[in-house]
Amino acid sequence: MKSLIQAGLSSSSRIIGGVSGGPDSLSMLHVLHRVLDPGCLTAAHLNHSLRPQADEEAQFVMRTAVSWDIPCRQKKVDINRLAHDQGWSIEEAGRNARYRFFASLAGELQAEAVLVAHNADDQAETLLLHLLRGSGLTGLRGMRQVSPLPGAPQIKLVRPLLSTSRESIEAYCQAHDLDPMIDNTNLDPSYLRNRLRHELLPHLARFNPQIKQHLQQLAEVVAADEALLENQNELAWRSILREQEPDWLRLDLQLWRNLPLSLRRRILRKAVKELRPSLTDISFRTIELAQKISLSGETGAKATLPGGLHLRVQHDHLLLTAGPEPVSSSQPQLSPDTSRVLSIPGKVALENGWYLAATVSSLDLTAVRDNRDSWRVFVDVGEHVALEIRSRRPGERFQPLGMDGRSASIQDVMVNRKLPAALRTRWPLVVAGEQLVWLVGLQIDERAKVSETTRRIIQLHCWYHEEEN
């Protein structure tokens, strides 16, 4: 088979062939039996327990494999129960169960690849099915001839018959006296795929007799374009991802907003898949709503995503979480009830690789007022020669700049500025004596502002990692 060579396999590769007993998988097993070295092929059959003849099909696969001297491994799963327990459709439960079985067996046998028998007609039906459901490019590329095996990405999933028509497969079975099992449910019109096969495709063929071939070509063209976009997406992901844990991750907000629309959507889809790998139904509408909220929403804006995930817009990042909001390791923090002296000039190390420094500035008042960097401020602390960095105290208040001397609770300002609750008790404050100077990254005190009478301007700068100040 040419597809084996394209997949980097040889006649001596350890291969598992997924066999249902139908024409496609039976002809595939027959060809593999002829081209692979003895002992390299194992047949695998999953009994879905869905039809009265399911046990008969399993016995047929076993008899056939034994007659061809091919080892055969089988497993029986109640797919109806699995679908009910997991909240999956029957088709999704069957697919997940098959791939779990194949992945487990491949690991046990140290197989290099699992081969399944989807054909060109299956590909055409899949593209139409995805199109009707509103798929993007990922769905329109259809099934790939070679891809990672779900659940075991180090194993190759190969579809050697993906360019072969069902008609050619049936002709092969006749030519080699193969008598496959026939699945009568393939005629049941209650299944959408069957209606596509027996009604829609024949109807489309009246407009274009080459419709199946053209759908196959569409899949090949889109697959190549999709590969290019996925490569760009991976590069973007590596630069945008800040932190990731099993139930949450953070993305750099500005870098994400600077991406083209296509990559912004793809990054969000990838973020969902990172936290919910088994999730398959992520609608365009859901991603687009999250994209628009993330693009223009202010700090605190939220979006709901599939799989119980929540997206939050924070002041410089996007937070995707499956549970409570985590304590960030990418924000400046200070252990509660601790304090550190900050000399002028001087520098203090905070937690998580953050630093805070104080220097005497030579900027004039106009330059100070033009500053828009929230992590760099200019203040007047009078003749104080040292400052203190500490966390807030219960009930502590200050006079936020711009409130004409009115006081406010530090806690209330943190809430209004959308600072996550998990960070509030660990957020650093710069104080001079008992007076707050700077609620770091958020607000300075009115009494510390630079004015025409200021004799010494102090620059306070907070930054991540050891950078030039």
Using CA atoms, how far apart are residues 447 and 457, in angstroms rounded to an integer?
13
Predicted local confidence at residue 70, as pLDDT: 96
Predicted local confidence at residue 469, as pLDDT: 47
Confirm if 325 and 319 have CB atoms less than 8 A apart: yes
How is domain 339-464 classified at the architecture level of CATH? 3-Layer(bba) Sandwich (3.50)
Question: In the block, which residue shows the tokens 């806690």?
Answer: 411
Write down the CATH number for the domain with range 221-321: 3.30.465.60
Using CA atoms, how far apart are residues 114 and 152, in angstroms rounded to an integer?
11
Each of the 469 residues of the chain gets a pLDDT tens digit; together they read: 667 777 788 889 999 999 999 999 999 999 999 999 999 999 999 999 988 899 999 999 999 999 999 999 999 999 999 998 888 888 889 999 999 999 999 999 999 999 999 999 999 999 999 888 888 888 899 999 999 998 898 999 999 999 999 999 999 999 999 999 988 777 788 888 889 999 999 999 999 999 999 999 999 999 999 999 999 999 999 999 988 888 889 899 999 999 999 999 999 999 999 998 877 778 888 999 999 999 988 877 889 898 889 998 987 889 999 866 655 556 888 887 788 999 999 999 998 789 999 999 999 999 999 998 989 999 999 876 679 999 898 889 999 998 888 999 998 999 888 787 778 888 999 999 889 999 999 999 999 999 999 989 999 999 987 554 4
CATH fold for the domain made of 2-119+141-207: Rossmann fold (3.40.50)
**CATH topology match: 221-321 vs 339-464:** no
Phi, psi of 317 (to 5 degrees): -155, 165
Alpha carbon 398 to its chain centroid, in Å, reads 43
Predicted local confidence at residue 206, as pLDDT: 95
Predicted local confidence at residue 92, as pLDDT: 86
3-state secondary structure 341-361: EEECCEEEECECCEEEEEEEE
Return all residues near 274 (Cβ < 8 A) that are at least 6 apart.
244, 249
Helix (H) or strand (E) holding 408: strand 408-409
pTM for this structure? 0.65
Predicted local confidence at residue 394, as pLDDT: 85
Token duo for residue 462? 């907070």
Q: Domain boundaries in the chain? A: 2-119+141-207, 221-321, 339-464
Alpha helix positions (H), 241-322: 253-257, 261-275, 284-296
Alpha-carbon separation of residue 48 from 52, 124, 150, 192, 226 (angstroms): 11, 25, 18, 19, 33
